[in-house]
Each structure stands twice: as structure tokens, then as C-alpha cells.
């Protein structure tokens, strides 16, 4: 496996070799707007799922909140509903911090130190650490995510935190700040994450002080974002690492595609296989109700709605993402257009 993944990026300019990258375009603007509105109307009254409460303050979120945002490869956005409501980013931060660490260490060194395989266990499982020799498993479960954060550039807690906040802000195209209430609530209840960090340390798979690494991780999860921000962050990953709104390069294209690979295999907790099977694009969800979906070369989609299924994925978010991924032609595995009207997928 090490051999296979040692290849560096091919030395050609991707912009001049379109045949070697994901193909196709989003539909016309009027069509995107119509479909986003349709998805919103279809699912806004679905009240299944339950708002997370294991971090006490998260339970205060209204179950009615629902927003959808699409950002295309030129930075144009199509949005509806509660897309300016602030919420803590939670696990949706994980792929973006992994991107920072890959960019710093190189994606091969990052794979060796963190792993990129699915655990088959819940996101905060200690059992997964005990049963798998890799321990960290991947950057999108808590063990791997805390280890990832421990590798963020910087020699001290504050330096590491500054590099995490700065890079996530570049992904969003604006300065992100902590939600103090969420940070306080999660800091007071994150004993399990502290336990994971100490366990990893005992196996030599955490690369900074356990308490400080957990603290930076908790800060990162408490960053306030909107659905609009998440769509811009997703669009940056869809755009080879260049933020399509600010025009800034945030990470290189080689890192970008590795981050997307991990999202495809582990982005939706234990239901990551179902997500890839049904929706066919990389995604990442978080317990506050956000989901980002990335269609390489086409754009980013973000949804926000707090009620979750049993695995921790937003219910309305999954429904709307599936509806839009099908109708916007996002599925990476589709090589022929869907047939009929309405289309059969
Ligand atoms: N900060 C949360 C935790 O570690 C993130 C959970 C999530 O969004 O999956 O418990």
C-alpha cells in the first residue's frame, strides 16, 4: 500500500489537461436556483430526527432551522432559508484541518501518521482505538481528528490554534471566530475526547500534549459558521484548493484530492458507505447539523438543519443533498445522464 500511494502528482498543468479531471458543468443558473428552492420546499416540513444534546448547549438549537447553499466554481452562490444563521462547525472542521496538516507534512506523511481507513465504529469510539492497530484510523473520527489537530503547525497551543483558525478562515473567505458558549459547554463535558487523547498518547499516536491537543480540537469544533460559509469552504475543495470567492489558494490540488478521498470513505459517520452509494460525492457532516458536499470541478453544497439521525447526520440535510446531487449531476460515478422525466437515478 505504501508503494502505491508514494506517487507524486503528475507534472502537468491541470488547467490545460481537462480530459484528466472531473468533467461536466452545473446546469444554468436559473435551473440551479429552481432546484435549490424545490429541495427546500420539499423537505422543510420533515420533522424527523433529534437535535444533539450530548454537548448541552447544542440542544438549544431550533429544530426548524433549515438552509441550503450552493457555491459554483466561479464563486456565485444560490441560497435559500437559514443560510446566515451562525452555528458551531463541529466535525465539519475535520477535513479542513486535515488539509492544513497534509499541506504542512505532505499527504503521504500525513497518511502514515494518521491513517485513512474507516473504523466501522461511532465517531468517538474508544473501542476503535483499542481494536485497530492503526489507533488513529482516519482524520474524520475523533481519535484521528485530535491527532490531526496535534500536528497543526506551531510549537505551542496558541500557535497551533492560530494556524488552525487562520487556515479555516481562508477556506471560508472571512475571519472565523469561536462561539464562546459552545466552547465552554463542550470544554466542560469533553471527558471522552480527553480519554481518547490520552489513550492515543499511550500508543505513541498523538503528537502533542493530550490536554492541549483536545483543547485546540474543542476550539476548532466551536468555530462559528453559516451554511453560506460551509458552501464556500466546500467550493474551495471542489476548486482544487482555490477559494472561488476570494481567489486565494488555500491548499494545493494534490492535498485537495486526498482530503476528498477521506471524506468519501468516512465523512458521514457509520453511514459513509450509504452516503457514497446514494449520493456519490465526498461529504462531511457534523453534530450541530451542517453537511458539506463537494463535487470536484463543479462546486460546493452546504446544508444546515439541526435534527439528526441516529448516526449523527442531519436528516433534512441528507435529503436535500441527495435531491440536489441527483438533479445537479454531481455523482462522481455517473458516466451517462439519468433517463426520463422526472429522471430515474
Ligand atoms: N466536537 C464534537 C465532539 O468531538 C464533534 C462531533 C461531531 O460533529 O461529530 O464530540
pLDDT at 10: 43
Report whether residue 85 contacts ligand 1, using a CB cutoff of 6 Å: no
Q: How far is CA 321 from CA 45, 172, 193, 279, 327, in A?
A: 16, 20, 30, 8, 10
pLDDT at 338: 67
> How many residues can be counted in the chain?
345
Where does the pLDDT of residue 342 fall: very low under 50, low under 70, confident under 90, or very high at 90 and above? low
CA pair distance 128, 311, nearest whole angstrom: 16
pLDDT at 129: 84
CA pair distance 56, 184, nearest whole angstrom: 10
CA pair distance 296, 114, nearest whole angstrom: 24
pLDDT at 125: 84
CA 311 to ligand 1 centroid distance, Å: 12
Q: pLDDT, tens digit, for every residue of 132-184?
A: 888 888 999 999 999 999 999 999 999 999 999 999 999 999 999 999 999 99
Q: pLDDT, tens digit, for every residue of 4-45?
A: 443 344 444 444 444 455 667 888 999 999 999 999 999 999
The stretch 219-237 carries a mean pLDDT of 98
CA 94 to ligand 1 centroid distance, Å: 9
Q: For the chain, give the mean pLDDT.
A: 91
Check residue 191 and give left, alpha or beta (phi > 0: left; psi -120 to 50: alpha). Answer: alpha
CA pair distance 338, 323, nearest whole angstrom: 13
CA 285 to ligand 1 centroid distance, Å: 10
H-only helix segments in 173-268: 180-187, 191-202, 210-221, 227-238, 253-266
Q: What percent of the chain has a predicted confidence (pLDDT) above 70?
A: 91
Which helix (H) or strand (E) segment holds residue 81: the answer is strand 77-81
Which of 21-30, 95-104, 216-225 bottoms out in mean pLDDT, i.e. has the lowest?
Answer: 21-30
CA 224 to ligand 1 centroid distance, Å: 14
CA 282 to ligand 1 centroid distance, Å: 19
| DSSP-derived 3-state class of residue 228 | helix
Q: What percent of the chain has a predicted confidence (pLDDT) above 90?
A: 80
* HSE, side-chain direction, 13 A CA sphere, residue 32: 20
CA pair distance 154, 79, nearest whole angstrom: 37
Give the residue, 35 or 73, on which the prediction is more confident: 35
| DSSP-derived 3-state class of residue 241 | coil
The stretch 282-296 carries a mean pLDDT of 97
Report whether residue 287 contacts ligand 1, using a CB cutoff of 6 Å: yes
What is the CATH number assigned to the segment(s) 29-327? 3.40.710.10
Report whether residue 142 contacts ligand 1, using a CB cutoff of 6 Å: yes
Where does the pLDDT of residue 123 fall: very low under 50, low under 70, confident under 90, or very high at 90 and above? confident
Which of 58-67, 121-130, 286-295, 322-331 bottoms out in mean pLDDT, i.e. has the lowest?
Answer: 121-130
H-only helix segments in 47-156: 94-105, 107-114, 127-131, 142-150
Report whether residue 286 contacts ligand 1, using a CB cutoff of 6 Å: yes
Where does the pLDDT of residue 112 fall: very low under 50, low under 70, confident under 90, or very high at 90 and above? very high
CA pair distance 61, 53, nearest whole angstrom: 10
Cell numbers describing residue 95: 477535513
Please say whether the dihedral angle defined by the alpha carbons of residues 49, 121, 116 and 148, taken in this order, is positive or negative.
positive
Where does the pLDDT of residue 273 fall: very low under 50, low under 70, confident under 90, or very high at 90 and above? very high
Query: Which of 29, 139, 41, 37 is closest to 73 using CA atoms?
Result: 29
Q: How far is CA 50 from CA 31, 54, 124, 240, in A?
A: 32, 12, 19, 35
pLDDT at 7: 38
* Ligand 1 nearest atom to the CA of residue 221, by list position: 1
Give the residue, 315 or 269, on which the prediction is more confident: 315
With cell 433529534, the residue in question is 50
The stretch 312-327 carries a mean pLDDT of 95
User: What's the whole-model pTM score?
Assistant: 0.92
Mutation test of ligand 1: which of 125, 186, 304 has the most ligand atoms closer than 8 Å to its C-beta?
Answer: 186
Report whether residue 90 contacts ligand 1, using a CB cutoff of 6 Å: yes
Amino acid at each position: 500500500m505504501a508503494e502505491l500511494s508514494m506517487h507524486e502528482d503528475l507534472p502537468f498543468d491541470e488547467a490545460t489537461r481537462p480530459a484528466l479531471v472531473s468533467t461536466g458543468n452545473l446546469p444554468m443558473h436559473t435551473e440551479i436556483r429552481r432546484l435549490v428552492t424545490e429541495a427546500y420546499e420539499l423537505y422543510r416540513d420533515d420533522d424527523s430526527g433529534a437535535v444533539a444534546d450530548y454537548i448541552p448547549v447544542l440542544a438549544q438549537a431550533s429544530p426548524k432551522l433549515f438552509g441550503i447553499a450552493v457555491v459554483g466554481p466561479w464563486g456565485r452562490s444560490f441560497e435559500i432559508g437559514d443560510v446566515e444563521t451562525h452555528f458551531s462547525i463541529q466535525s465539519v472542521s475535520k477535513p479542513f484541518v486535515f488539509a492544513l496538516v497534509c499541506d504542512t507534512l505532505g499527504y503521504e506523511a500525513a497518511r502514515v501518521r494518521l491513517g485513512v481507513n474507516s473504523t466501522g465504529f461511532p465517531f468517538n469510539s474508544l473501542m476503535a482505538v483499542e481494536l485497530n492497530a492503526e489507533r488513529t484510523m482516519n482524520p474524520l473520527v475523533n481519535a484521528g481528528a485530535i491527532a490531526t489537530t496535534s500536528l497543526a503547525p506551531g510549537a505551542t497551543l496558541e500557535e497551533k490554534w492560530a494556524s488552525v483558525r487562520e487556515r479555516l478562515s481562508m477556506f471560508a473567505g472571512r475571519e472565523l471566530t469561536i462561539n464562546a458558549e459552545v466552547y465552554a459547554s463542550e470544554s466542560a463535558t469533553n471527558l471522552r475526547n480527553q480519554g481518547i487523547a490520552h489513550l492515543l498518547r499511550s500508543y505513541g499516536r498523538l503528537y502533542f500534549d493530550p490536554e492541549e491537543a483536545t483543547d485546540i480540537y474543542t476550539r476548532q469544533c466551536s468555530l462559528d459558521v453559516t451554511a453560506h460559509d460551509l458552501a464556500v469552504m466546500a467550493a474551495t475543495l471542489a476548486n482544487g484548493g482555490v477559494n472561488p470567492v476570494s481567489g486565494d489558494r488555500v491548499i494545493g490540488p494534490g492535498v485537495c484530492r486526498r482530503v476528498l478521498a477521506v471524506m468519501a470513505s468516512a465523512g458521514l459517520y457509520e453511514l459513509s458507505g450509504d452516503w457514497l452509494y446514494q449520493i456519490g460525492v465526498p461529504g462531511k457532516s457534523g453534530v450541530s447539523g451542517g453537511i458539506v458536499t463537494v463535487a470536484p470541478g463543479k462546486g460546493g453544497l452546504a446544508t444546515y438543519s439541526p435534527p439528526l439521525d441516529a448516526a449523527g447526520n442531519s436528516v433534512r440535510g441528507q435529503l436535500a443533498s441527495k435531491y440536489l446531487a441527483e438533479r445537479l449531476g454531481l455523482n462522481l460515478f455517473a458516466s451517462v445522464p439519468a433517463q426520463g422525466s422526472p429522471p430515474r437515478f
